[in-house]
Amino acid sequence: MYLKKFKLINFRKFAENENEIEFTDSQGIKKADDGSINIASTTTLLVGKNNSGKTTVFEALDKLVNGNSDSNSKPKFTFDDFNYEYIKKLVEEYGNDKYDVLPSIEFVLTIGLDKGKDDLIVNLGHFIPIGYDPDEIKIFAKYEVVESEIFKEQVKNEINSEIYTEDNKIDCFYKLSKIINENLFNYKLKYYDENGNEIKKFKLSNLIDFFKIQANKVTTDDCLSAAFNSIITARNKSDKFYDTTLTESHIEGINKELEDKFNTAHTNEINRTLTSITDNDITVKLRADLTFEKIIKNIVKYEYKENNNFVPENQFGLGYTNLMVIISKLVEYMEKYPESSFNSKINLIGIEEPETYMHPQLQELFISHINEAIEILLQQHEKNINSQIILSTHSSHIVNSKIHSGGTFNSINYISANGTNARAVSLNDNKISPDGETEKDDFKFIKKHVIFKASDLFFADAAILVEGTAENILLPYFISNDNTLNKKFITILPINGAHALVYNNLIKLLQIPVSIITDIDVVRNDSESEDFKQITSIKDRDTTNETIRYYNNNSYSLNDDTDYFEDENIKVFFQKEENGYIPTSFEESIILANYDNEVVNSALKSTKPRIYTEIVGEPVNYKNNKDNSYKWQCKLSDDKTKFANELLYEMMTTDSIINLPNYIKDSFDYIKSKLEK
């Protein structure tokens, strides 16, 4: 039994669409036959930029599970938990005298049943029709007004067609917020089955346990000690590790000894003094109240050994401290984990943004560290843990680790902003790569290639896919000098024209604006190649570029009117006419757009001094660069990286920016137009 899906409707940033999170089963959090475990493939990931809505998912689970001990109590929801756009629509409805819909927040929990685990579904019995043997069960939780007629009357009096005008929309919005806040006592969290029947006497806390680890809470010098205190306290209560009776008897004996000594030494004198100054019979009795928890918290001190030296806790690096706090919280959870809940409850472990304070390498290894910790704990306890791990992050390194360690994109939930609302998209292998042998190879490629900045796609405002190294070196400098693009996170992913198609499905799922900058790759005959013939027209010519072929109605044929290709959030850019010629590579485009530029000429001369003299001549005639751009392309074929680095050096040291080739400029304009919407 596990949480399969979680839908948030009109809760904070989540509206009525694109609002469902998908989770993976907990089957991997147990020892395999060889004693190993792999939590990566069974860890649910929430990825996205800051303020996208990741924390909202954690807050919703926490409010539903931990905020309400019983279904009849007042939940910890406020007006601020209602979706802003949803409230605006309701205000408009009320302003048109339509009062059928009242403000509510809804959640849909889909519970997956694994019949092979012999799940005890007694807590779900009310949601299962008699005689029905489901694979999954839906629970509808709705936070709604109980006394609806009273609420409607209040709304009618404050918001109606006579009051609601263009000028006072905002006033009406705040009137509704006030009404909701004043009626929070009249709101209840109710549960319904799939048929809309209310299920009473149901407690979500009896079905789900949610243990949240706030990984970014390294705020005190003794946070490690506090974490280990809770571990030792939990272990002390376990018969497996300690004789708790003996421990308690020791503490009781200490309390008795303290009472006797202090009463003898001090209390009797105090009582004689009190008697002498008051008519009332007042006496003092000292009672020692030493507990195991107090001993651990206030008496036991921790020392941490590093290279045979003991290091004070406050001298630990924040990154390692954060990691150790997370692991200690997991240890605490494992110690307290009731084996009786293995098949009867859904146990969720939420870790929020663990990358805080961690350097990139530690982030990359985070999942493996957690994996090792859980493996050791399971060996100690000789038990399985039926828990799902939910991890939110904006670290590309943790995403890399998840994909590589788990070997899958499954259960990665991409959360992004869609206007003022959040948009949740669940990724999985089938969405990214369709079935088929070729696609399987593509999928292998994408899983391995993702480490080369590809995971930045999950956190970028936009992306540019480029041919190779030269573009990857120079485009960041061009972007940094663009006053619009330099304010956004534009990730650049070097990948050749053919392999750009591998990312097609993933890019469409993410829906961020993407430009593919690729070479037109015009086919030349042997004589044209030998003579370094310049191209002035692509009429009736073919390309060898598979990306262009794919978007060109599966045709290799080109014409002068062949334009850039656009498909949803993707646009493909290739070389266009540049100073009278059509370049066929990035380097040739740079040369044609800047044939007489001193910075470009300096880079060409540094890269190929002999060829430079041969082409430009003596005295120098820059026009020769333009008329021999294809020759330059051929001569630079083995030194593209060197040329790019030389050009970058020249631009940086002279604070120069060269002319962008037309297709690069068009690509930037496309990205800017999308980001401005």
184 to each of 180, 477, 524, 538, how far by Cα in Å? 6, 54, 74, 69
The secondary structure of residue 595, as a DSSP letter, is T
Spatial CA neighbour of 102 closest among 171, 156, 168 = 156
How far is the C-alpha of 112 from the C-alpha of 495, rounded, in Å?
Answer: 39
Residue 349 bridge partners (DSSP): 211, 389
Neighbour order of strands in the sheet with 346-352:
208-214, 346-352, 387-393, 43-47, 412-418, 421-427
Is the CB of residue 16 less than 8 Å from the CB of residue 385? no
Q: Name the pLDDT band for 234 (thresholds 50, 70, 90).
A: low
Q: Name the pLDDT band for 18 (thresholds 50, 70, 90).
A: very high
Helices (H), 504-608: 504-510, 526-530, 546-551, 586-593, 598-607
Find the range with the poorest average confidence among 20-34, 197-211, 339-353.
20-34
**H/E element, 610:** helix 609-616
Q: Name the pLDDT band for 165 (thresholds 50, 70, 90).
A: confident
Query: If you average pLDDT over every residue of the chain, what do you get?
Result: 83
At a CB cut-off of 8 Å and minimum separation 6, what does 399 contact? Answer: 45, 47, 393, 412, 450, 455, 458
Helices (H), 186-243: 204-207, 223-236
The secondary structure of residue 581, as a DSSP letter, is B
**H/E element, 149:** helix 148-158
Angle between helices 640-654 and 586-593 (to 10 degrees): 40
- CA dihedral sign of residues 330, 336, 339, 343: negative
DSSP characters over 527-540 = HHHHTTPPPS--TT
- Inform me whether the pLDDT recorded for 241 exceeds 60: no
Query: Is residue 597 packed enough to be buried (19+ CB in 10 Å), middle (13-18) or exposed (0-12)?
Result: buried
Report pLDDT digits (tens) over 136-153: 889 999 999 988 899 999
- Inform me whether the pLDDT recorded for 69 exceeds 60: no
- Of residues 253 and 91, more confidently modeled: 91
Report pLDDT digits (tens) over 496-518: 655 778 888 899 999 999 999 99
- pLDDT for the residue numbered 448: 75
DSSP characters over 50-100 = TTSSHHHHHHHHHHHHTS-SSTTSPPS--GGGB-HHHHHHHHHHHHTT--S
- For residue 619, whether the previous peptide bond is cis, meaning omega lies within 30 degrees of 0, is yes
Find the range with the poorest average confidence among 250-254, 528-532, 616-620, 642-646.
250-254
Q: What is the mean pLDDT of residues 586-600?
A: 96
- pLDDT for the residue numbered 442: 75
Give residue 264's region: left, alpha or beta (phi > 0; psi -120 to 50): alpha
- pLDDT for the residue numbered 251: 79
Long-range contacts of range 644-651, CB-CB < 8 Å, 24 or more positions apart? Answer: 644/469, 644/470, 644/473, 644/474, 645/473, 646/602, 646/603, 646/606, 646/607, 647/474, 647/590, 647/599, 647/600, 647/603, 648/473, 648/474, 648/477, 649/603, 650/599, 650/600, 650/602, 650/603, 651/477, 651/599
- Inform me whether the pLDDT recorded for 72 exceeds 50: no
- pLDDT for the residue numbered 403: 77
Strand ranges in 281-344 using DSSP code E only, listed in sequence order: 304-306, 309-311
Q: Name the pLDDT band for 238 (thresholds 50, 70, 90).
A: low
- Inform me whether the pLDDT recorded for 385 exceeds 70: no
Q: Name the pLDDT band for 33 (thresholds 50, 70, 90).
A: low
Instruction: Give backbone dihedrals phi and psi of 215, rounded to 5 degrees, phi first.
Output: -75, -15
Report pLDDT digits (tens) over 280-322: 666 667 777 777 667 666 655 656 666 777 666 666 667 777 7
- Inform me whether the pLDDT recorded for 70 exceeds 50: no
- Inform me whether the pLDDT recorded for 51 exceeds 60: yes
593 to each of 590, 642, 645, how far by Cα in Å? 5, 19, 18
At a CB cut-off of 8 Å and minimum separation 6, what does 669 contact? Answer: none
Q: Which two tokens stand for residue 220?
A: 């005190």
Query: Is residue 375 packed enough to be buried (19+ CB in 10 Å), middle (13-18) or exposed (0-12)?
Result: middle
How far is the C-alpha of 640 from the C-alpha of 468, rounded, in Å?
Answer: 9
Q: Is 357 helix (H, G, I), strand (E, B) or coil?
A: coil
Find the range with the poorest average confidence among 124-133, 222-231, 418-427.
222-231
Q: Name the pLDDT band for 666 (thresholds 50, 70, 90).
A: very high
Give residue 655's region: left, alpha or beta (phi > 0; psi -120 to 50): left
Report pLDDT digits (tens) over 171-225: 999 999 999 988 888 888 999 998 899 998 888 888 888 988 876 666 666 666 7
The secondary structure of residue 315, as a DSSP letter, is G
Instruction: Give backbone dihedrals phi and psi of 220, rounded to 5 degrees, phi first.
Output: -125, 165
**42-56, 80-94, 180-194: which has the highest mean pLDDT?**
80-94
Q: Which two tokens stand for residue 94?
A: 């009320």
The secondary structure of residue 659, as a DSSP letter, is P
- Inform me whether the pLDDT recorded for 353 exceeds 90: no
**212-226, 337-351, 356-370, 624-638: which has the highest mean pLDDT?**
624-638
- Inform me whether the pLDDT recorded for 236 exceeds 60: yes
- pLDDT for the residue numbered 579: 95
CB half-sphere exposure, 23, CA atoms < 13 A: 26
- CA dihedral sign of residues 164, 97, 18, 572: negative
Spatial CA neighbour of 394 closest among 407, 369, 413, 374 = 413
Q: How many CB atoms lie within 10 A of CB 232?
A: 19
Is the CB of residue 346 less than 8 Å from the CB of residue 208? yes
Q: What is the mean pLDDT of residues 19-48?
A: 72
